[in-house]
Chains A and B, each alone.
Chain A
Amino acid sequence: MLVCVIGSAIALAGEVKPLPYQWGELPAGIWSEAKDSPDWTNGAVVLEDRVRINVEPNIFERTYRVRITRAAGRRVAEIQKWIGNIYQLEARVSYPDGSSVTFNKENDFSQKTLLGYRGFEIQRTILTPPGITSDCVYELHFKSNVKVGFQGIEEIYLGGPFPTKSLVLEVGRSGGFSALVIRPSSYKSQTVKADNSLTTTISDLPAIPESIPYESGSNEIRPRVILYTPQMGVDTGSAIDLQSFWSSVAKSVWKPWYEFPDQGKPFLAVRNHRLVIVTELIFRGPKFKALASEMLKNLPEGDQEAAKEIFRRLQKRIRNFSHLSPSEEKAFQAKDIDLSSLDERSLERAIELGGTHSAGWRMFYLQLLWAKGIHPRLVKVISIHHRPFNMWLRTASQFEWTVLCIPEMAKEPLWVDSDLRFSPVGSIPVWCQGTAALSVDTSTWDVSRIQVPWQGPNDQQASYDYQVDEHAGLLKFEISASFPGSMGDQVARTTYLPFDAQGRGTHLRKALEGTNLETSISEAWTSDPTDESKPFTWVAKGASRMPTGPRILLPPFLDLPDVIDIQNNLPLERKLPIYLGAPRKLTATSRVHIPEGYHWRIQAPLRFQNDLGLVSWEASEDSGGRFVRVRMETQLEKGDAPASNYSEFRRFLTWIQTARDRKLIFERDA
């Protein structure tokens, strides 16, 4: 699908009249091309897609020709959001009888506001290509301004759900932005360098689905160009090799930020959308020094043990105001603290307030570690669901999060996510496990590219205990949930933190009931996620319909949360690595009351295992013959797997589904 934004500048088209685009003749044979190849199964093929960026200063230009052969292919002509504001737009639709229509008027490309909110406004113009039929050639040419969005990075994906015969991307050096072209190696491509531009041609780009199941945010199959604002304060010229560039970022950007003096100079900053002079000059004052002295006393031996203890002590003294429950939020608001104006280096102010925001907490912790002589690594990461760290993307704006990693001789590194409340020391956040990252040694400020490791399944567990019984014609059930493993507990707490007690119950009920109407949850309760003295737990009660007949099938695990989302309709082939998410383990037990007048037909246990994990299901009747006890365990051992494991992966999902959905069979007594 072609994607673009046409902004208000279209209105200016009447003011500056560009020369009409010269469409030229359609290629010979365009109407008679063989349409029995798989390329044509969805009714359209993009014959040519030429994209030029910054060849003229800050101009994005696109020329697009598509052959539509069936009604389903008409979608190829839909135009959605792209970048910048279009100021020249022309289109032509040609038909097999030799006729054609051209369009370039504002009436044909209507403009309207999608969303407006006070001064802030997003405008979108929908391009409605007129004249599109199920048998035509559609051509489009437009120019627009180049804009980069949030944090100075704009990613433009090329190709789409229809195959492209020829994609030509020309990136020039005329604009104020840098560009990084990413072309997956699996496609036929060639690159030609000229003095002021780089032209990449990809031939026979296949259709690329809009979403691919079990894909991380790596977008490995999507050719794309990333436009970005060059990194400030560092020489970004291509002459500097990557290692030097990132070392330079560490030493010129991050080092001065973290190694700040005790007293700062006033500086200009944007706070609450206003430019203000920040005058919080005392970063480390007497209060910090006194507190640091107290907190660093009598620490255990070894960097990692000391770091753990400092973390525990700091948690008691300085709160993380970025993650509060509704009641905490209310109390916090009463203090009238503007969190956005709080400088993360202002440790003195954090002590006065008794807390700070996430970045401030990390800063505080780091300063204490340094004071103790411990030099952790700053691991700069991006969520695995977004975009992998790319060394060639020469801007530090690409990072989203900073995790600390504390090395010690003869020990595994100790990971600390000091930004997130409830974060367990020693656990890596689930959303950055397995992703590429930049590690910065804070003693030397040297950098290295690393792969954040996966943690074992025991770190993220969920355990569900069921009681199932018939009552008044309904199958009643009660679930008690707990989350052993430090990261499992943290994930569960964070999920429910934004709600008050009633809201937590509602959230849990909705999550369990889902969208089908097979069950109803009558009670749902969670423990207080802010109470760190106890493990986080929840309890829910519900009912389902009680089947009848000579043989009834009862599900032992009603409304069981999935350990992984199971999709049945998977593509036949896979070229991308498979993303499963951080390793984890689900254990479910159920005690099912045998319905009056029935007996349980013994069912054989199941046990499956492969490289990806294991699944087991076993049931037994208790000695009194009143209950059947079922135990199911699902363990995901790996966070990702190569495409070559696709068959194993699908089999593994099938095992999980089989165990999860297996019902107990009861037959009426003779």
Chain B
Amino acid sequence: MMGTNRSFLVILLALMIQVALTARDKLPEWCLAALAESHQVDAPVGANAWVLLDRSEFTCTLTGAIKQKHYRLVKVLTEKGAEEEAFFAVRGIGGKASRVKGMKGWNFRPNAEPLTVEQEDALVLDPDSDDTLTSDNTTAVNLPGVVPGSLLAFESQEIFTSSMGPVAIASVLGANPILRWELELDKSWFVSSDVHAEIVPWNLDGWTREIQFVQGRSLKLRNLPAGYTEERQGPEVFNSLPIAFIRFTDRSFPAASSASWSDFGGWYQSVFKAAIGEIPPLMLTGTTARERLQSLQTWMGQNLGYRQVYLSENRGWMPAKAADTLRRRSGDCKDLTAFSVAILKAQGFEAFPVLTRVSDGRLLGTEPIHPGVFNHVLTAIALPAPMGFAAEVRVGLHTFLLLDPTDKLTPLGYLGRQHAGSRFLLCLPNGGEWVTVGEDGIMPSGVEVAIEATAEPEGRLLGTLTMSERGNALGLARAYLERGQRGLEDRLFPMLAINPACAFAILSANDPLVLGQSFNIKVEINLEAGWQQVGPHGALAPIAIPPVMGAIQRPGRSRQLPVQIKSVGRWLWSATIHLPGEWDSVTGAGNLHTTLREVSWASVCKEGTAKLVLDSHLMPGTWKASEGEFGVKFVDADRADYASFLSRCFEFKSRPAKEP
């Protein structure tokens, strides 16, 4: 009897192994339709790989967590594609808030046995950086043996929770073109009839016309191009690349279920206020409200640093207690805002959190109601009466001053250029209110350069250069603040060095935290070959002039992204150069107008001294994706015209000696 049982077990085991092997060696069923479709059409020209299917299924659990299943099928076309696509990653917030499981990958190689990877092969990568400590992590598997011709299949499952409730954002584009992109919300998990699922497709225009959309159910896109290119001067991704906002509304999750921005803002204000706690008042100087606010900003700039510490699911949204921020002397945007709200309260001011977006996009006012549109928090200080600050906003009868506690370099009364053109949600006790700050409220930026130097006959140019930067236009003040003199040298000197034999020394630089004045630097310059003289021709090698823009597109390659040119403002350059002998300018004066730039030039030579002035204003420009080629043409024309204009400005011809 025992022997029979053993034989049965052996057979059963053998069968199980066979089934397991078969399952592992076969293409998963979810791949079949997309694979069949790919045989009907040509692969995209020039692509390194072709994503035949990228499908995500989202469900909401009773506790408000989101469960996401992800399926991906990729045809590798080139070696580069093999490098790019062998790696399948799921980014999560780590810890208890996010779990990745069921990760599997198959590599069906041409003329070879398939190779597989499982969850246990996964790498966990940590994105911590200088300014960020987070439990966020990326779980990834790397498929071995991927070659051109490989068919790669991946699947994974992630469960994540957020203090905002069941909300998510699905990105669409990747490094390679996509045949089918699918997003599906699965209602079978819903536990209440009150739960309502919502998908809001975003920025789809110009990327594909093949869209199947069933609200609350699915979004299917076809024939999408590669999203990552080496094109430069593209717009911020939030305002240009397609995404899909997802939320499940339920009364248990007020943030996710807000019916209006007013509701959301009111809710956020209440939870923010509850999280802050209290702190004792600081000894601020000044008797007037303006002086005390100024004193607070100075104290925070000098005593608090920026640092993200994201080690729990709430930390993306809820601030640390103000007392903890004071103890740690650092925090991220919401911690610093919370600290400012608490300390202002202790000083008799009322202040509130303000939500907005920076770095990767601006809020234009058309965004769907979804917490994912925000990535930054700042402070609105209720003023007893208008005080004439440029960054004041009015809501009904109330006046608020917007202050970004994260931005140490912008003086009180202004916002930094990162906020230009965006909108702000003031989170007030009565609800959220959208406001905008006009260009007047943005800290003006610009550069002024003044050079006083002597050109030696053998070519060396010796003297001093003074540079004044406003609005952190070139990142010099930030470099000095964050990394000291070495940081400033690393940022500034490459702008000045025309060759390895040049030498520079910083003579002075003012404290970047003394706000309300330009950041001024004085530099001793010693330029080898700064002056070149061949027969009657002379030429200066100019430094710190407003530069010719770099190419934004490789020649002969078509543009995919929109074009967005940002301006650093006006750049006024002047120089007094003592030349060796008597010289005349080849170009005494001139003007240049391109689509993007206005430039004027003046040069006067008298008694061996050349006085030169170059005044350039690069203006912002935007071309949407369908007009990207025009944008490239205008930029190329500006580059060519400006380079040609400059090429004659710094040339001189020797003045013939006068007859005795």
The one of B135, B302, B502 in contact with A133, judged by C-beta atoms closer than 8 angstroms, is B302
User: Given contacts A131-B329, A132-B305, A517-B553, are A73 and B640 in contact (CB under 8 A)?
Assistant: no
A118 to B529, CA, bound (A): 58
User: Given contacts A72-B487, A115-B125, are A654 and B80 in contact (CB under 8 A)?
Assistant: no
A108 to B329, CA, bound (A): 13
User: Given contacts A502-B79, A520-B557, A549-B644, are A566 and B636 in contact (CB under 8 A)?
Assistant: no
The one of A72, A161, A209, A519 in contact with B482, judged by C-beta atoms closer than 8 angstroms, is A72
Instruction: Give the Cβ gap from B506 to chain A, nearest Cβ, in Å.
Output: 9
A670 on the B face (CB < 8 A): no
Which chain A residues border B329 with CB–CB below 8 Å?
Answer: 93, 130-133
Task: Assess the B484–A43 pair: CB atoms within 8 A.
Answer: yes
The one of B302, B482, B499, B644 in contact with A653, judged by C-beta atoms closer than 8 angstroms, is B499
A647 to B126, CA, bound (A): 44
Which chain A residues border B128 with CB–CB below 8 Å?
Answer: 112, 114, 126
Question: Using a Cβ–Cβ cut-off of 8 Å, how many residues does chain B contribute to the interface with A?
Answer: 67
Task: Assess the B307–A658 pair: CB atoms within 8 A.
Answer: no
Which chain A residues border B121 with CB–CB below 8 Å?
Answer: 118
A535 on the B face (CB < 8 A): no
Which chain B residues border A113 with CB–CB below 8 Å?
Answer: 124, 126
Contact with B along A102-128 (1 / 0, CB 8 A): 000000001011111110000010101
Considering the complex, give the chain B residue whose CB is closest to the CB of A513. B554
B490 on the A face (CB < 8 A): yes
Contact with B along A628-643 (1 / 0, CB 8 A): 0000000000000000
The residues in B between 519 and 567 inclusive whose CB is less than 8 angstroms from any CB of A are 528-529, 534, 550-557
User: Given contacts A116-B124, A135-B302, are A516 and B501 in contact (CB under 8 A)?
Assistant: no
Task: Assess the A657–B500 pair: CB atoms within 8 A.
Answer: yes
Task: Assess the A654–B500 pair: CB atoms within 8 A.
Answer: yes
A495 to B126, CA, bound (A): 31
User: Given contacts A72-B483, A474-B556, are A516 and B500 in contact (CB under 8 A)?
Assistant: no
B32 on the A face (CB < 8 A): no
Contact with B along A501-534 (1 / 0, CB 8 A): 0110010000001001111101000000000000
The residue among A130, A516, A543, A651 with the most chain B CB atoms within 10 A of its own CB is: A130
The residue among B303, B309, B554 with the most chain A CB atoms within 10 A of its own CB is: B554
The one of A116, A502, A548 in contact with B148, judged by C-beta atoms closer than 8 angstroms, is A502
B656 on the A face (CB < 8 A): no
A492 to B181, CA, bound (A): 43
A568 to B231, CA, bound (A): 26
A553 to B539, CA, bound (A): 16
A467 to B69, CA, bound (A): 54
Task: Assess the B503–A572 pair: CB atoms within 8 A.
Answer: yes
Instruction: Give the Cβ gap from B335 to chain A, nearest Cβ, in Å.
Output: 12
The one of B130, B327, B481, B497 in contact with A72, judged by C-beta atoms closer than 8 angstroms, is B481
A657 to B499, CA, bound (A): 7
Task: Assess the A130–B330 pair: CB atoms within 8 A.
Answer: yes
The residues in A between 616 and 662 inclusive whose CB is less than 8 angstroms from any CB of B are 647, 650-651, 653-654, 657-658
A42 on the B face (CB < 8 A): yes
A545 to B311, CA, bound (A): 50
Which chain A residues border B636 with CB–CB below 8 Å?
Answer: 545
The one of A42, A553, A658 in contact with B484, judged by C-beta atoms closer than 8 angstroms, is A42
Task: Assess the A520–B311 pair: CB atoms within 8 A.
Answer: no
Which chain B residues border A72 with CB–CB below 8 Å?
Answer: 480-485, 487
The one of A78, A115, A124, A549 in contact with B123, judged by C-beta atoms closer than 8 angstroms, is A115
Which chain B residues border A657 with CB–CB below 8 Å?
Answer: 499-500
Task: Assess the B327–A131 pair: CB atoms within 8 A.
Answer: yes
Which chain A residues border B486 with CB–CB below 8 Å?
Answer: 41-42, 161, 207, 209
B514 on the A face (CB < 8 A): no
The residues in B between 603 and 660 inclusive whose CB is less than 8 angstroms from any CB of A are 636, 640, 643-644, 647
The one of B125, B490, B493, B528 in contact with A654, judged by C-beta atoms closer than 8 angstroms, is B528
Task: Assess the B554–A520 pair: CB atoms within 8 A.
Answer: yes
A41 to B505, CA, bound (A): 13
Which chain B residues border A572 with CB–CB below 8 Å?
Answer: 503-505
A164 on the B face (CB < 8 A): no
B29 on the A face (CB < 8 A): no
The one of B484, B500, B556 in contact with A570, judged by C-beta atoms closer than 8 angstroms, is B500
Task: Assess the B303–A112 pair: CB atoms within 8 A.
Answer: no
Task: Assess the B484–A134 pair: CB atoms within 8 A.
Answer: no
A323 on the B face (CB < 8 A): no
A101 on the B face (CB < 8 A): yes
Contact with B along A55-84 (1 / 0, CB 8 A): 000000000000000111111001000000
B78 on the A face (CB < 8 A): yes
Interface bracket on A? 35 or more
User: Given contacts A506-B78, A572-B505, are A516 and B550 in contact (CB under 8 A)?
Assistant: yes
B3 on the A face (CB < 8 A): no
Instruction: Give the Cβ gap from A442 to chain B, nearest Cβ, in Å.
Output: 41
The residues in B between 367 and 382 inclusive whose CB is less than 8 angstroms from any CB of A are none
Instruction: Give the Cβ gap from A652 to chain B, nearest Cβ, in Å.
Output: 9
Considering the complex, give the chain B residue whose CB is closest to the CB of A107. B311
Which chain B residues border A112 with CB–CB below 8 Å?
Answer: 126, 128, 135
Task: Assess the B505–A653 pair: CB atoms within 8 A.
Answer: no
Considering the complex, give the chain A residue whose CB is closest to the CB of B643. A547
A474 to B497, CA, bound (A): 30
Task: Assess the A567–B78 pair: CB atoms within 8 A.
Answer: no
Which chain A residues border B534 with CB–CB below 8 Å?
Answer: 604
The residue among B307, B329, B513, B555 with the most chain A CB atoms within 10 A of its own CB is: B555
A569 on the B face (CB < 8 A): yes
B42 on the A face (CB < 8 A): no
Task: Assess the A520–B555 pair: CB atoms within 8 A.
Answer: yes
A272 to B648, CA, bound (A): 67
The residues in B between 554 and 587 inclusive whose CB is less than 8 angstroms from any CB of A are 554-557
B498 on the A face (CB < 8 A): yes
The one of B327, B489, B502 in contact with A568, judged by C-beta atoms closer than 8 angstroms, is B502
Instruction: Give the Cβ gap from A108 to chain B, nearest Cβ, in Å.
Output: 9
Which chain B residues border A117 with CB–CB below 8 Å?
Answer: 123
B194 on the A face (CB < 8 A): no
Task: Assess the A517–B551 pair: CB atoms within 8 A.
Answer: yes
B133 on the A face (CB < 8 A): yes
A439 on the B face (CB < 8 A): no
B280 on the A face (CB < 8 A): no
A562 on the B face (CB < 8 A): no
Considering the complex, give the chain B residue whose CB is closest to the CB of A43. B484
Task: Assess the B529–A658 pair: CB atoms within 8 A.
Answer: yes
Contact with B along A542-563 (1 / 0, CB 8 A): 0111011101010000000000
Instruction: Give the Cβ gap from B231 to chain A, nearest Cβ, in Å.
Output: 8
Task: Assess the B647–A551 pair: CB atoms within 8 A.
Answer: yes
User: Given contacts A126-B133, A503-B79, are A544 and B555 in contact (CB under 8 A)?
Assistant: yes
The residues in A between 562 and 582 inclusive whose CB is less than 8 angstroms from any CB of B are 566-570, 572
Which chain B residues border A135 with CB–CB below 8 Å?
Answer: 302-303
Task: Assess the B551–A42 pair: CB atoms within 8 A.
Answer: no
Task: Assess the B505–A568 pair: CB atoms within 8 A.
Answer: no
A566 to B494, CA, bound (A): 12
Instruction: Give the Cβ gap from A90 to chain B, nearest Cβ, in Å.
Output: 16
Q: For the A-B complex with A131-B327, A133-B305, A653-B500 known, give 11 more contacts whose Cβ atoms are closer than 8 Å.
A: A42-B485, A71-B302, A73-B484, A113-B126, A124-B126, A133-B304, A135-B302, A135-B303, A517-B551, A569-B493, A657-B499
The 6 closest A-B pairs by CB, nearest first: A72-B484, A42-B484, A568-B497, A520-B554, A653-B500, A517-B551
The residues of B with any CB-CB pair to A shorter than 8 Å are: 78-80, 120-121, 123-126, 128, 130, 133, 135, 148, 230-232, 302-305, 307, 309, 311, 327-330, 408, 480-487, 489-490, 493-494, 497-505, 513, 528-529, 534, 550-557, 636, 640, 643-644, 647
9 interchain pairs, CB-CB under 8 A: A72-B487, A115-B126, A128-B133, A499-B79, A506-B80, A516-B550, A517-B554, A520-B556, A572-B504
The residues of A with any CB-CB pair to B shorter than 8 Å are: 41-43, 70-75, 78, 93, 101, 110, 112-118, 124, 126, 128, 130-135, 161, 207, 209, 474, 499-500, 502-503, 506, 513, 516-520, 522, 543-545, 547-549, 551, 553, 566-570, 572, 604, 647, 650-651, 653-654, 657-658
